Structure 1
Amino acid sequence: MSHKKKMLKLLLSNTLSTHIEIKQKAFEELESSFCDAESTLALCELLGLQHPAELRLCAAEILTKRLSSFEQWKELSTDKQGNVQTMLFQALQSLSDCEDLAVQQLIVHNVSILMEHERTNSNDGNEGRWTDAVFQYVEAICLSSEIELRKLGATVLALMADVSPDVFIQQMDRAQRIVVNGLRLADERNLLGTTISECLCKVWSRSLSSGHSHLTDRTALSASLPLVMKTLRVIAAQEPPDQGNVIFELLHNLVEFTPQVVQPQLPVVLEDLLPMIEDITLSKALRLDSIELLGCLLLLSRRDIIRLGFMNRILISLHSLFVERVMDLENEIDDGKPDVLAAGIHVLLELLQQSSTAKMASRALQLIEPIMQEQEQHSETRRSGTQYFLAVLVEGFVHQLDPPTMNRFMAIVQSGHSDSSLVVRRSSYFAMSKMVECLQPEITQQADAVFPIFYNYLDTDTRSENKRLSKGELTKNSDIFYALETFIESLRPRALGAHLAGLMPRLLPYVQSADNSLWMQHLALRCIAALARKMKTEFEPYFDAVCDVARALTNTAADGNDELRTILRAQCLKLVATLARVSREKFAPFSPQLMDLTMELMHDTDTAEGLIFMYPMMAELPAVVPEKFKEPFPVIIRNLFKTIDRLNADGGSTHSSSNTFADIEDTDEREDALRCIQSFAVHLPDLLFPYRSKALRRALKCVSQKKELVQRAAFESLSKILQLEWKCWSHRKAKKLCRKVFPPLLEFMESSTDAANASAVLSCVQLLLENPKIQCRALRGYARELLCLMQKILQRQLRCQAVNDDTQRLETCSEIVYQEKQLLELVGDVLPILGYTEGSKEFDVYFRRLVMHCERRCLRQLEEGNITSHQSLIVNVLSRCFVQLGNKGRPYYNILCNGIIAGLLDDQQEVRQRSLFSLKVMILNAKNMLKHIINAVSNTMLTALKPDTLLSLEEQDHVCGLLCLMIIIDHRHCPIEPFVEAISRHIPFTVVRTEYVTVSRCLMVLFEHYYGYIRPHLSKVLQLINSLLNRRERSDHWYLKWSKLLLLIRKKHSEFRINDTKQTEPLSNEGEKLELFSRKDLPHLLSDDKDAPKQPQLLMDLREKPKLCNGGRESPVLCTEAEEKDQHS
């Protein structure tokens, strides 16, 4: 045996040889001649401390391979297994703290293998004893009074967790006890922050991910968190403090895998964590780890943190990071280390995304308002950091700010822009730019407060130094100018008009070549062009000044070849083209010169690049000088086609994406080229007609592009081209077109977030649907997809439309809200057409979903009597589909009536007018279901006609007309007495005299059937008839109508005097039909009334879009054909 041991040692030594042959031969002989049980025991003996480290390492490696197989382990006898366990346990006990780590790892690995074999071997009745002995030993040395042994125990425990996690997780409760008691002992001996505590934390961190489910008692672990945080504090105070990542890894795992352990200790964790975030003396690595951990805690226990009162402290800590950044910028500190502020901004934005905007805004205001209001008590660094903090806040808000909160935020920015410190003013401009970008659309209501801040910036900026601006200063200028452009674009013209006179005198000096850099001129021109596009004719007072500047800059920019000059020239030409929409008369004198410039560019070069700058101009010139296009038109149209083909092949704009200014004018010339074709189709249809097929092919190719503005321009030009094609189309060609157009169209509408773009494309859909050749056959395959699309559009909702506040002012201020409203109204035009195409049965399926959405999301506030403008518009759109539904519409009367009732008495005029229109549509299409509508709306309509009503006189006239209409159609189910009282109290009409058409027919019904109710008001009715007859000539269309009513009154009055009885019930209840105007058995009433409108006329053309009131000038309720005749007369 001793000889064999010597040979084994020799072979193990040979495995360390540098000669490959000797090494390979040694391994072969070990595998062939030393693979028995005695050799295994010999290898175990060589693990003893008395042998050289290299020999022990080789023996441990070979032993690991032999012991890994459970089958080979079972081949050993019980005695041999016991011997191996004993020797390995002795080897484990022989380890020391100063041992080679590789040897320690291999010995621990072998011990762990045997523990796993013991757990697997279920036939052994003593299973677990050896494992228990190993852990008892490890626990003993971990809790030893000697520091070296505790270090060794922590190291062994960490190695066991690393090399054999499957074994370790089976002992999680014991491991927890070892770690917790080890940390307590380290705390007692002032050894926290040493290798011992680091190893213990590492052990626990690595075992939690896979072994957390094996824990049975977590109380002790939760109680140990203060020790973990104390360890972190100690490590943070050390130099260098790079060991903290172990503690943070443990804390992250505790938060992720055992959150119930962390939650009771949140105050302890946050009390230590927040000061570390604020402490600028700590390393950035530690502070970054602290911020990331804070983010995890907020994600896990945000509500608990709020309940514990730590949210304000967290906001203060995050606010300090912004103040710190301003301080670093002032001191020009940039050490290139990880950015603490970036991590803080990420956590703040995540917090805002999860939280209620109103509550977080209130908390933040409590923090930052005192800083800006008490400027003397706070440094300019702190005030400036507060403005940047506000900028990030508004970026993270997910809900609309209510007006009082918005006013408080605006006050903070106003305080910053009036601050005596330049640093604070600049930060307030940045905050303002973020508010304009992120608080849409509600910021548009603050125009009177926002524009003075822009004025202040434009007035105080030093234009003489613009040529010497650094790159950083260029960025700062870009922020405020882009914000101004965004704000201009976001406002409705009426809201913007009041500030035009304040903006233009301040912007014009910035485009003077002598005083400004090309960059500054570019920024100012963008804002001026936005003003001209928005204001159109109201921009005319500035036409001459802007045109002169733009033409001068065009000539100046043409002298250079650098990219910014080229872009500036294109920008000036676009601005001149925009001026064509401001004033045709003033633009006309320049048109020949511009046309000559176009021809010059075409003659100078055969490539598209020379002419593409003139495309916006060419889109406007046909409306002014169409005669100038006759000769050069073939060259121009071929150039447009060439540009579109080239860019379709290249896949984008001609501008390079690798240059400095790639983002300042991110345009695609295909859009401008398509706008030209669209203009030619409108103003030069005869010239374009021979090229219509080629233009159509290119438009169809562009609708499949992935650039939204190019697709929109393609769909709009496609609409105009198709109008040239209608007359020569067949059904086959229409179907072929649908296959090409509708797939990209549906995809575009699905993905488009801009309501203006969606509306433009939906107008193309409407044009296609209204063509009979498209509507009948070709549309069948896409009608359902279009209906689903209409459903999604109706379910769109801006965040301002998700609250109960009045959005009417937003609709007058915000372009975004206005475009959403336009999109919904366009859906109201398209839905009925789709209903006709699909049929009532199929249409009912989609309509049911829309009504469910209307009831669930739009009409929640009806119990309180409130309805927003957005909700009333949806009710209006749905009510227009009842003709297409036919009898299928009956189940929806009650739901939509609820919305109408809420809208009839709403504070917003537009809501009331939509409700009136919706109600008339439903009345005219209800047929024998009108009784349900009458029961639902009667009380509300009577309330609307009371003396203290909030309705205007015009609206009261329409309500009275609707009461009359319900009596005409179904008088038996009307509450006659209160209806008669309301009608007689309201006549004569003061505004909408066309309602007399309905009143005359209503009075005929009342005098025929309910003379007893109408008789007390006979004097007022006769006065009305007399005044109307006196104002009309004998040949008037309606003179006979009122005359017949007068004869009927005389007849009924005579009968009353003869009978002297009060008539309170209908005279004939048995054979009378409900639809008075469709009866054939009442010749005494209608036989000589040749001009009486029949029911189809009375029911109007519901596919016509309703004309809503606009400042009292238009009626919200459509007139019948007879009413229109009466109105003209």
Structure 2
Amino acid sequence: MSCKRNMIIVLLANTLSSHIEIQRKAFEELEREFHDDESTMTLCELLDSRHPSELRLCAAQILSKRLSPFDRWTGLSSDMQGNVQKVIFNALQSLNAHVEVVLQQIIVHIVSVLMDHEQTNISGGNCRWTDAVFQYVEAICLSSEPAYRKLGANVLGLMADVAPGVFVHQMDRTQRILVSGLRLADERGLLGTPISDCLCKVWIRSLPTGHKHLTNGTAVSASVPLIMKKLRLATCQDQPDRGNCVFNLLHNLVEFTPEVVRMQLSVVLEDLIPIIEDISLNRALRVQSIEFLGCLIHSWRRDIVRMHWMNKILNALHSLFVERILDLDSQDSDADADVLAAGICVLLKLLQQSSTSKMALRVLNLIEPIVYDEEQQSEAKRGGTQYFLAVMAEGFAHQLSQKCMDRCMSIVQSGQLDSNPVVRRASQYALAKMVECLQPEITLQAATVFSIFYSFLDTDKLSENLLLSKRESIKNSHMFYALETFIESLRPKALQPHLTDLMSRLIPYIQPQQNSLCMQHFALRNITSLARKSSTAFEPYFAPVWDVARALGDVKGDGRDELEIVVRMQFLQVIATLGRVSQEKFTPLCPRLVDLTQELMHNKPDMIEFTYPLMSELAAVVPEKFKEPFPGIISNLFETIDRLNAEGSAFAASEDTDEREEAFRCIKSFAVNLPDLLFPYRSKALSRALKSFGQRKELVQRAACEALSKIIQLEWSSWDMWRAMKLCHKVFPHLIEFMETASDAENVTAVLACVQLLLEDSKTHCRVLKNYANELLLLMQKILQRRLRCQVVKENTTQRALSMERYSEIVYQERQLTEMVGNVLPDLGNRVGQKEFSKHFRRLVIHCERSCMPQVEDGNTSISSHQSIVVYVLSRCIAQLGNKGRPYYNILCDGILKGLLDEKRKVRQRSLLSLKRMILHAKDEVKHIIKAVSGTVITGLHQDTILPVAEQDRFCGLVCLMVITDHQHCPIEQFVDAIIRHIPFGVVQTEYTTVTRCLMVLFAHYYDHIRPHLSKVLRLITSIMDKQEITDKRSHKWKKLLLLIRKKQCDFLKDNSKQRQLLRDDKAEPELLSDDTEMSEILSDDTAMSELYNEEPVLLAREDAMEQSELISDDNNQSELLSDDKEPSELLSDEEQSGLVSNEDKSGLLSDDKELPEPLAKSELFTNDKDQHA
């Protein structure tokens, strides 16, 4: 034994040799010859402190490798395992502060490995040796001697590193060691030493695996005040990175024992917030404090509010913005930005979690005293508050209420009027952020916002600061970009009152002699936006803008300055936009502009890409000028598209626009204005448009789709069925994918219009579309479920919602998108068939039931504009559903009833159109609809009605339609009174056609009710007949009505015995009523009512014409779109514009002459064409 022991000692000594070969042979022999249990035991004994440290280290290293495999450990006998554990434990006890750190680490590693083996080998966790080890470690950790406490902490920390799993069944003991150790360190003034760091490290390592085994998990809460005290001590030390250990422990406590931190939340915040606010502390430590504050807010925001800590937190975050102002000239700007960036991140997350209305009120109450007290508050606080408000605007999750919005704008105005330039610049930044992030509600503040922009533009002019350097101009760039964004966000009618003031301030900025290229570029961008949005209203500024733009184009530069190229590009865009402002003024300039484009194409090919918008406009005005240069132009367009498509995903990731967008718009213009020239290139254009869909750039995809739809129109003239089906298979997947991923409602609307174009064409057979029916209908459902941010606000009033539609382009585009769904759904229903369409329609109605109509079902007397649009869209599908639409009558009629007398005109119009469709297509259910809506309709015709005269005319026409459709279930007496009281019509003369048929029904079946009003009816007929020539084909209906009246009056007189003699003397009767056959034709049977349902397509064509002119009109009729409460005179003007009203009544609703253009020309209810000679 002693010989073997000596041999092992010799080999261990050889492992320390400087000769590599000797070391290698020693290790090989130890592993080969001394790998038995006896040798392992000898190695364990060599760990004793009596042996040299070098020898102990070598033995420990070999043992560590030998005992680590679990199968090697289980290969030892039980007695041998016990002996090894005993010897290793003695080695652990022999450690002291004088032992080398490496040896300590290896011995502790062996101890940890053996504990892990014991825990694995013994089920139930009854590990006596492990308990003994932990008991010893606990004793030295809590010893009165600092050296032993340090040793115990190091040992425990090494154990946590090597085998954290052994702590699973020792968590209560570990918790006791941590709490008692920190308390003891605090008593001895050693809380900031590495000893307490090791204790924290142990808890960090053991919590993830053992937190579920804590018997009393809240006991460690007593140590939280000590942990925070340790953090305060770390801030005062030269090595602030010691605070990392504390923050790691705090994060672990929040994650694994959150109740511990929640119980001490006030203690944590009380120490954490001063660290955040103290600008003298290490910035890295403050960043960690801010990040941990964000963690606390995420976990216990409601508790923080309840304990009244939220205001202190907001003040602490606000102080970071003030610090930013104080350190504007600091050289250490990067580190400062890190602190502020961390605070902004926490603030944004807080705002996302919080109620916008409550948080806005809280913040405004905190910052308003700072902003308005210029004498007491420093400029740094006032400026920092403006930046703080900017971040708040960026973080608000929902729309601000009107009062909060007013207060925010007042704060920005106050900053703009501040005497300090730093505060003014900060307020400008706040306004820019508000314009960007508080859409659409900021559009209601147009007057206030523009006044601040005026102040900004005037200040620069008054200070003669127009000729700024590029660096100085960039400082002001956010205001110019914000102005452009705000212009684009407004509806044209909302922008028009401010056009004069804006142009008077922007034109000086584009003068080349007075401004730098940067300022010219910024001003030109805004002028271009104004011209594009204002359209014809911009015409007074055509000449001055043209003069400046031409001067910019004539400037000769070396072409090397990038900014110079950008300004020249902007000059071309301005000229192209002027083509949309006034074609009359633009036309004389076109020849010169065509020459300019040709010159650029030959002399500056790198500039030709900037002429695409201009060529789009020129093609519409002077198409004959393009015949000769067209091959070169179209080739250049294709080259540009190919080059940018080839750049791949790297280019596609950019948010900036590229030339492909304008190139496709140019191709679209050529397809409309130069179809013959483009036709030979249509295949090449189609392939490039399809390829561009693969690039994830929304505006490029939209432009490609619009060009694609126009090219398809060119192809249709020569296509056969097979080719049409093939193209649909190529196009539809791209269109659907784009609409599902696009973020801008305007882009989705444009592409959806292309889908409608394909649906309506006869060459795209329904068999092709059925493959995409499910996807299209699912997309329609998603569009209906879109909810604007402005609809999330609970305090959103009806008047405010009305103003939103008048001012905000975003709201308008959302409405346009929803109404476009109303155009596409009927076409889709016609294509896929009633059975297939009904399966998908149910999912569309579910959204209406759950999201749009809860107020209606709860008995609310009003309906929102959004709800009325959804009801209108769904009602347009009733014809396609047929009998399968019956389950949806109730919910649709409820929505219609709420909107018929709504204070918003658009809602009333949609409800009226929806009700007409319901009456025409309900068939067997029409009696229930008439019963439900009769009271509301009659109320609309009362003398004290809120409806203007034009809408009363339509209501009266609706009453007449109900009588024609199902007179047996109408309240005839009330209907007769309403009709007689309202006629003659004041505005909508086209409703007389419906009234004629209604009167025929009433005289035929309800003569007793109508006879008291006979004189008024005869005066009406006389006045109408006098206005029209006898040869007018439409007058035959009135003549037949007169015949019917005469017949019914004669019958009435015959029944009256007192008038018999008078009847004998009447010679006119035989002439008027020659025989019974004629009367039977005049009084045709009610079965002719069935013909009414076959007239549906023509009738709805007229309804859609009304809809197009009133509900979805273009920018040339903005007054119709911006107001829901127009006067009667305005309504008449709108009717005349839409072509629905004419002096000759050319579009009667229910006319029966097949040679006339009336919607129902093919149907007869009470007569036929054989009676026209009467």
TM normalised by structure 1 equals: 0.92
Q: Hey, what's the Cα distance between the residues in 2 that align with 1:444 and 1:465? A: 29
In the alignment, what sits opposite 1:725? 715
Alignment partner of 1:359 is 2:355: no
**Mean alpha-carbon deviation: is it higher for 854-863 or for 40-49?**
40-49
Q: Hey, what's the Cα distance between the residues in 1 that align with 2:941 and 2:1086? A: 34
**Post-superposition offset of 1:890:** 0.8
Equivalent position to 2:874, from 866, 875, 878:
878
Instruction: Call closer, same or farther: CA 1:625–1:224 in 2, change over 3 Å.
Output: same
In the alignment, what sits opposite 2:569? 570
In the alignment, what sits opposite 2:435? 436
Counterpart contact for 1:1000–1:1045, Cα < 8 Å: no
In the alignment, what sits opposite 1:294? 293
Counterpart contact for 1:121–1:127, Cα < 8 Å: no
**Mean alpha-carbon deviation: is it higher for 406-415 or for 47-56?**
47-56
Give 1:383-532 correspondences, 5 Å limit: 383-461=382-460, 464-465=464-465, 467-469=467-469, 471=471, 473-532=472-531
**Mean alpha-carbon deviation: is it higher for 81-90 or for 1037-1046?**
1037-1046
Q: Hey, what's the Cα distance between the residues in 2 that align with 1:768 and 1:1128? A: 28
Q: Hey, what's the Cα distance between the residues in 2 that align with 1:185 and 1:1103? A: 89
Alignment partner of 1:198 is 2:194: no
Tell me the SS of whatever aligns to 1:340: helix
**Mean alpha-carbon deviation: is it higher for 822-831 or for 888-897?**
822-831
Instruction: Call closer, same or farther: CA 1:558–1:931 in 2, change over 3 Å.
Output: farther
**Post-superposition offset of 1:569:** 1.1
Q: Hey, what's the Cα distance between the residues in 2 that align with 1:410 and 1:917? A: 41
Counterpart contact for 2:1099–2:1160, Cα < 8 Å: no
In the alignment, what sits opposite 1:1069? none
Equivalent position to 2:750, from 752, 760, 778:
760
Alignment partner of 1:677 is 2:667: yes
Counterpart contact for 1:464–1:516, Cα < 8 Å: no
**Post-superposition offset of 1:654:** 11
Q: Hey, what's the Cα distance between the residues in 2 that align with 1:269 and 1:68? A: 42
Equivalent position to 1:1085, from 1083, 1086, 1090:
1083
Instruction: Call closer, same or farther: CA 1:110–1:696 in 2, change over 3 Å.
Output: closer
**Post-superposition offset of 1:582:** 1.3
Equivalent position to 1:619, from 616, 630, 645:
616
In the alignment, what sits opposite 1:939? 935
Instruction: Call closer, same or farther: CA 1:91–1:999 in 2, change over 3 Å.
Output: same
**Mean alpha-carbon deviation: is it higher for 878-887 or for 705-714?**
705-714
Q: Deviations over 1:162-182 (max 9, x none)?
A: 111111222112111111122
**Post-superposition offset of 1:919:** 0.9
Alignment partner of 1:782 is 2:811: no
Give the partner amino acid of 1:274. I
Tell me the SS of whatever aligns to 1:377: coil
Q: Deviations over 1:606-642 (max 9, x none)?
A: xx53532322222112232233223333333333334
Alignment partner of 1:903 is 2:899: yes
Counterpart contact for 2:283–2:335, Cα < 8 Å: no
Q: Hey, what's the Cα distance between the residues in 2 that align with 1:597 and 1:783? A: 49
**Post-superposition offset of 1:121:** 3.8
In the alignment, what sits opposite 1:992? 988
In the alignment, what sits opposite 1:856? 850
Tell me the SS of whatever aligns to 2:328: helix
Q: Deviations over 1:206-233 (max 9, x none)?
A: 1111211221211212232222222212
Q: Hey, what's the Cα distance between the residues in 1 that align with 2:839 and 2:104? A: 73
**Post-superposition offset of 1:242:** 2.1
Alignment partner of 1:800 is 2:790: yes
Give 1:942-1091 correspondences, 5 Å limit: 942-1011=938-1007, 1013-1014=1009-1010, 1021=1017, 1024-1025=1020-1021, 1028=1024, 1034-1035=1030-1031, 1036-1044=1035-1043, 1046-1047=1045-1046, 1050-1051=1049-1050, 1053-1054=1052-1053, 1083=1081, 1085-1086=1083-1084
**Post-superposition offset of 1:71:** 4.0
Counterpart contact for 2:1150–2:1160, Cα < 8 Å: no
Tell me the SS of whatever aligns to 1:890: helix
Instruction: Call closer, same or farther: CA 1:1001–1:27 in 2, change over 3 Å.
Output: same
**Post-superposition offset of 1:779:** 2.7
**Post-superposition offset of 1:1083:** 4.3
Counterpart contact for 2:1148–2:1158, Cα < 8 Å: no
Counterpart contact for 1:1000–1:1041, Cα < 8 Å: no
In the alignment, what sits opposite 2:14? 14
Counterpart contact for 2:1149–2:1158, Cα < 8 Å: no
Give the partner amino acid of 2:839. V
Tell me the SS of whatever aligns to 1:891: helix
Tell me the SS of whatever aligns to 1:144: coil
**Post-superposition offset of 1:279:** 1.2
In the alignment, what sits opposite 1:371? 370
**Post-superposition offset of 1:309:** 1.9
**Post-superposition offset of 1:764:** 1.6
Gap regions ≥5 residues in structure 1: 1061-1079
**Post-superposition offset of 1:1094:** 4.9
In the alignment, what sits opposite 1:153? 152
Tell me the SS of whatever aligns to 2:513: coil
Tell me the SS of whatever aligns to 1:499: helix
Equivalent position to 2:728, from 712, 726, 738:
738
**Post-superposition offset of 1:384:** 0.5
Give the partner amino acid of 2:900. L
**Post-superposition offset of 1:42:** 2.4
Q: Hey, what's the Cα distance between the residues in 2 that align with 1:70 and 1:669? A: 67
**Post-superposition offset of 1:1020:** 5.4
In the alignment, what sits opposite 1:231? 230
**Post-superposition offset of 1:687:** 3.1
Q: Hey, what's the Cα distance between the residues in 2 that align with 1:649 and 1:478? A: 32
Q: Hey, what's the Cα distance between the residues in 2 that align with 1:832 and 1:788? A: 15
Instruction: Call closer, same or farther: CA 1:1126–1:37 in 2, change over 3 Å.
Output: closer
Counterpart contact for 2:671–2:678, Cα < 8 Å: yes
Equivalent position to 2:631, from 625, 631, 634:
634
Give the partner amino acid of 2:1151. A
Q: Hey, what's the Cα distance between the residues in 1 that align with 2:898 and 2:343? A: 46
Give 1:156-171 correspondences, 5 Å limit: 156-171=155-170
**Post-superposition offset of 1:408:** 1.0
In the alignment, what sits opposite 1:30? 30
Q: Deviations over 1:263-303 (max 9, x none)?
A: 22211211111121111121111111111111111111222
Counterpart contact for 1:327–1:381, Cα < 8 Å: yes
Counterpart contact for 2:938–2:975, Cα < 8 Å: yes
In the alignment, what sits opposite 1:891? 887
Give the partner amino acid of 2:726. K
**Post-superposition offset of 1:340:** 0.5
Tell me the SS of whatever aligns to 1:217: coil
Tell me the SS of whatever aligns to 1:314: helix
Report percent identity of matched pairs.
61
Counterpart contact for 1:699–1:715, Cα < 8 Å: yes
Q: Hey, what's the Cα distance between the residues in 1 that align with 2:138 and 2:1018? A: 110
Instruction: Call closer, same or farther: CA 1:1048–1:100 in 2, change over 3 Å.
Output: farther
Q: Hey, what's the Cα distance between the residues in 2 that align with 1:404 and 1:1082? A: 70
**Post-superposition offset of 1:602:** 3.9
**Post-superposition offset of 1:1005:** 3.1
Counterpart contact for 1:702–1:711, Cα < 8 Å: yes
TM normalised by structure 2 equals: 0.88
- RMSD of the alignment, in Å? 3.1
Instruction: Call closer, same or farther: CA 1:118–1:1018 in 2, change over 3 Å.
Output: same
Q: Hey, what's the Cα distance between the residues in 1 that align with 2:863 and 2:322? A: 45
Instruction: Call closer, same or farther: CA 1:38–1:1081 in 2, change over 3 Å.
Output: farther
Give the partner amino acid of 1:431. A
Q: Hey, what's the Cα distance between the residues in 2 that align with 1:1052 and 1:138? A: 120
Q: Hey, what's the Cα distance between the residues in 2 that align with 1:1001 and 1:621? A: 52
Gap regions ≥5 residues in structure 2: 1060-1077, 1111-1119, 1121-1125, 1141-1146, 1162-1174
Instruction: Call closer, same or farther: CA 1:643–1:930 in 2, change over 3 Å.
Output: same
Q: Hey, what's the Cα distance between the residues in 2 that align with 1:682 and 1:1096? A: 36
Tell me the SS of whatever aligns to 2:418: coil
In the alignment, what sits opposite 1:1120? 1149
In the alignment, what sits opposite 1:97? 97
